[in-house]
Structure 1
Amino acid sequence: MSTSDLRASDLDLLMSTVAEAYRDDPGEGMPWALLLGLAELIPCDLGVCYQHHDHRACRTLLMQGVEPGGGREPVCGPEEPAPDDPFWQLWWQATCSWPQRTGNLHRVVHTGDFFPTERARRADPMSEVLPEMRYDMMLSLPAPPGEARRILFFRAEDPSFTERERQLAELIRPHVQEIWLDAERRRAGVPTLSPREWEVLSLAAAGRSYGEIAGQLYVSTGTVRKHMEHVRERLGVHSVAAAAAIAMPHAPAVRSR
């Protein structure tokens, strides 16, 4: 991906958004600072929204959005299943399910990828369900089977989303996932561990001995033992198994060696 169209100010704002999101309260879904920063990074006259859907049950688990100008919409969800709702009836044929149908969660997609003309967009049945939404851009995130998590950017008026804006969304996407994982850890009360402590805990939870971990990480066995002592102290437990049970469901991506 070329970043030739990006400005230095874009990257400064992107990294500032990431930093503010880590400092902000985790909230119920995403830290508000993340959504507010995204709305400044990619302005939208209908706002920016985080959505978490259970598409098998035809229901929204959580929706959290910011309006133009920085207003915060009330967080809603979980909703009752609504299989008769036109949105869910059209889900599997609409563009909103493209990541689930293709298995491609990495590509950021927008209206122009599917509808080359305004006439084509208006012919889409979903345009009758969401008539106020003319353009949208979707940043998909990992989710359990049967679920969908994404950040959506909405516009009612021109301009349509540009390649520069897609590049910005693609650049921030891995940070968004890590911010959400960090928020989940904080909501669950999991103490902050260093990258090396997460790495050691991950290997220990996989059944590696301290000696094997030391050889893989090129450190001494004593160093590994000290890291695990710190992990157990911070989690308030006395065994690797207990530490793993508490922390590993919220673990960040660990770099393999």
Structure 2
Amino acid sequence: MSRHSITERHMRAMLDVVDEARHTTTGEIPPLPLLKGLGQLIPCDIAEFSEIDLPTRRVLASQAVEYGGHYPEPDDTLWWRWKHQHPHCADVERSHGYIDVAQLSDYMGMRDFRNLALYSEYMRPFVNMIVLALPTAPGRIRMYHFSRERTQPFTDRDRLTLQLLRPHINTIYREAARRRREPVQLTPRELDVLRAVANGLSTEAIARQFVVSTSTIRKHLENVFRKLDVSSRTAAVARIFPEPDPEAYGP
């Protein structure tokens, strides 16, 4: 794949999309003009953004712009039921967003895909999808996805466009989230405990680290959950430490 597949005109259009999104201050996370612009750069029938907390099955954000017509709202219970059928879904979950831009057809032929309940019950009529995942906390999915009814796959230029824009899209998301985020008053010890959770330590390991009882750690976590209005460790970590280290951002 060559950078020369991006023309100067297309590159200017990409920069215009980024510039408009960065100057949008409507409070949406991410800015909706970003999705609209990407849907024009990547010819598709529907462009979507979604962010999901996997342990709680909460949809944290959902945006869609239709280009091919009006499509009914999908039944998300069917996605939860059948998502295991496609290996790309598992890869996105395991990678925490550190995964290359990919089409579903990179993993599975169209005939096999059409035989899945994931397609017939949830994704139909869209036979082609290209996905740009963004880095996020463990237990979350944050991604842009572009779908087509027609069998013609997305092009190398489409894939390269998303690859080149990926760091800019991630920055735009982070800046919008930073503007929107409300301050939460956690005590220094509660922050220490939550940081230990983010590092993967168990309750017992955290108690040993701070030389306190496990019940004390559980009480700190209960207070954190109450203040953040969440019900899981994953959600609490994502609320306070929503982004990985930018310097760790992979290709």
| TM-score in same-fold range (> 0.5) | yes
Q: CA deviation digits over 1:110-139, x for unaligned, max 9?
A: 1220223x3122122311222121111110
Residue matched to 1:88: 80
Give the conservation status (yes or no) of the 8 Å contact 1:30–1:183: yes
The whole-number CA distance in structure 2 between the counterparts of 1:38 and 1:152 is 10
Q: Deviations over 1:92-127 (max 9, x none)?
A: 3423332223566230011220223x3122122311
SS at match of 2:33: helix
Match 1:170 to one of 148, 163, 167: 163
Cα deviation digits, residues 21-78 of structure 1 (max 9, x gap): 0001253321122111101111212x2111001122233222111121899x9xx9xx
Query: What CA distance in whole angstroms lies between the structure 2 residues aligned with 1:119 and 1:189?
Result: 47
Q: What is the aligned partner in structure 2 of residue 48 from structure 1?
A: 47
Cross-structure match for 1:107: 100
Contact preservation (8 Å) 1:181, 1:252: no
Could you say what secondary structure the match of 2:49 adopts?
Answer: strand
Displacement of 1:248 after TM fit?
A: 9.2
Partner of residue 6, structure 1: 6
AA in 1 matched with 2:18: V
Does structure 2 retain, via aligned residues, the 8 Å contact 1:178–1:252? no
Instruction: Determine the structure 2 residue equivalent to 1:159.
Output: 152
Query: Residues of 1 paired with 2:153 and 2:38: CA distance?
Result: 17
Equivalent residue number for residue 97 of structure 1: 90
Runs ≥4 in structure 1, deviation > 3 angstroms?
Answer: 101-104, 247-255
Amino acid at match of 1:145: P
Unaligned runs of 5+ in 2: 184-239
Q: Highest relative contact order (Cα 8 Å, sep 6+), 1 or 2? A: 2
1:122 is aligned to 114
Overall identity of the aligned pairs, in %? 29
Matched pairs, number: 188
Per the alignment, do residues 70 and 144 of structure 1 end up closer, same or farther by CA in structure 2, a change over 3 Å counting? farther
> Where do residues 94-243 of structure 1 align in structure 2 (5 Å cutoff)?
94=86, 95-102=88-95, 105-116=98-109, 118-128=110-120, 129-188=122-181
Distance 1:30 1:184, change over 3 A: same
Query: What runs of 5+ residues in structure 1 fail to find an aligned partner?
Result: 191-246
Q: Secondary structure at the match of 1:10?
A: helix
Gap change, CA 1:27 and 1:44, over 3 Å in 2: farther
Do the aligned partners of 2:53 and 2:60 also contact (CA within 8 Å) in 1? yes
- Decide which structure has the larger Cα Rg and report it: 1
Give the SS at the match of 2:3.
Answer: coil
- CA distance, structure 2, for counterparts of residue 152 and residue 26 of structure 1: 22
Aligned to 2:23: 23
Distance 1:42 1:55 in 2: 28
Q: Counterpart of 2:60? A: 61
TM-aligned CA distance change 1:2 to 1:89, over 3 Å: same
C-alpha distance in structure 1 between counterparts of 2:241 and 2:98, whole Å? 23
**CA separation of 1:38/1:125 partners in 2, compared to 1, >3 Å: closer, same or farther?**
same
Structure 1 146/8 Cα, relative in aligned 2: closer, same or farther at 3 Å?
same
